[in-house]
């Protein structure tokens, strides 16, 4: 949600913008009920600073920011996001973790820009090859993306090693596409590789919070303003949102491919089923299977 995005991007803000951020985080409900003058007064900054703060986060201005804040609080009020505690029962963990995950996806659905998804699909549909870059947990999302895309016959590769995706980016050309994935949008190695990809002429689709250094380099930005949670007992909601967006792109691209791409996907599915059938037969009677193989 928006509050997570503020925490994620806090270090990228100017000192005066950070004062506004702290005022919002300290009492988001009060921020929602007051006007820009009152927020500027409580943060001890000027009204133009509040506007710059909103724009630094990727919003058009105060009203746009306030609307997004209202949507986020309506979906997930702060008291609904209590962190898991050492003495929680299993029922508490089920409730808290599922609530966080559900709220993350609802927040994504209500704030995701469909036009950005459409522009990203336009790029991917005509790309000669697609490369996915990410590190850490975002590297896992990149690997998942490559798995989903290549099953429909699309030439794809995923890199999570900074040295490897740096080299790969430098070897790209016009007509290639990169999907850069980052929960914080501040990874220096991913930023560098994206810069190399843009210099080589490739289009870059970025999945990251708006207002971040990585977002600024995007040909198309798919803004995911769900920050990474530093609580080790809490699931990373941002990863769920990124995985959902990858599903949207993979399904959208497969549907664009028409009957031929559907044929390839069915062929891939049948090959997996044949493997499963073979393994089932082996498990049922391994000695008989080995005898036939001789």
pLDDT at 79: 47
Q: How far are the Cα atoms of 29, 185, 230, 239 from residue 227, in angstroms, in the given order?
A: 19, 10, 9, 9
pLDDT at 254: 86
pLDDT at 103: 78
pLDDT at 281: 60
Task: Look at domain 114-256 and name its CATH class.
Answer: alpha beta
Alpha carbons 273 and 277: distance in angstroms, whole number: 6
Q: With a cut of 50, which residues of the chain have pLDDT below it?
A: 79-80, 233-234
What's the pLDDT tens digit per position in 153-199?
A: 778 999 999 999 999 999 999 999 999 999 888 899 999 999 999 99
pLDDT at 228: 52
pLDDT more than 70, % of the chain: 83
pLDDT at 292: 56
Are the CB atoms for 181 and 144 separated by under 8 Å? no
The two three-digit tokens of residue 106, written as one number: 């609802």
CATH number attached to the domain at 2-81: 1.10.10.10
Are the CB atoms for 29 and 3 separated by under 8 Å? no
Are the CB atoms for 210 and 223 separated by under 8 Å? yes
Paired residues of 181 in beta bridges: 207
């Amino acid at each position: 949600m928006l509050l997570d995005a503020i925490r994620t991007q806090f270090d990228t803000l100017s000192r005066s913008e950070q004062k506004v951020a702290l005022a919002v985080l300290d009492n988001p409900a009060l921020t929602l009920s007051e006007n820009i003058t009152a927020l500027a007064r409580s943060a001890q900054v000027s009204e133009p600073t509040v506007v710059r703060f909103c724009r630094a986060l990727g919003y058009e201005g105060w009203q746009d920011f306030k609307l997004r804040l209202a949507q986020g609080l309506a979906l997930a009020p702060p008291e609904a996001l209590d962190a898991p505690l050492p003495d929680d029962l299993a029922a508490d963990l089920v409730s808290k973790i599922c609530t966080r995950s559900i709220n993350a996806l609802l927040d994504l659905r209500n704030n995701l820009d469909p036009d950005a998804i459409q522009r990203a699909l336009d790029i991917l549909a005509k790309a000669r090859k697609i490369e996915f870059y990410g590190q850490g947990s975002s590297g896992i999302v990149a690997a998942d993306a490559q798995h989903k895309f290549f099953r429909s016959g699309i030439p794809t590769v995923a890199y999570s090693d900074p040295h490897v995706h740096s080299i790969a980016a430098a070897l790209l050309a016009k007509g290639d596409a990169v999907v850069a994935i980052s929960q914080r949008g501040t990874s220096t190695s991913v930023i560098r590789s994206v810069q190399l990809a843009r210099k080589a002429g490739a289009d870059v689709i970025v999945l990251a919070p708006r207002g971040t250094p990585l977002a600024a380099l995007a040909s198309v930005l798919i803004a995911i303003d769900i920050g990474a949670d530093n609580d080790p007992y809490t699931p990373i909601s941002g990863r769920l949102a990124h995985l959902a967006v990858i599903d949207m792109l993979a399904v959208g691209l497969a549907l664009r491919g028409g009957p031929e791409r559907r044929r390839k996907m069915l062929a891939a599915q049948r090959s997996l089923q044949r493997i499963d059938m073979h393994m089932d037969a082996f498990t049922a009677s391994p000695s008989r299977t080995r005898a036939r193989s001789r």
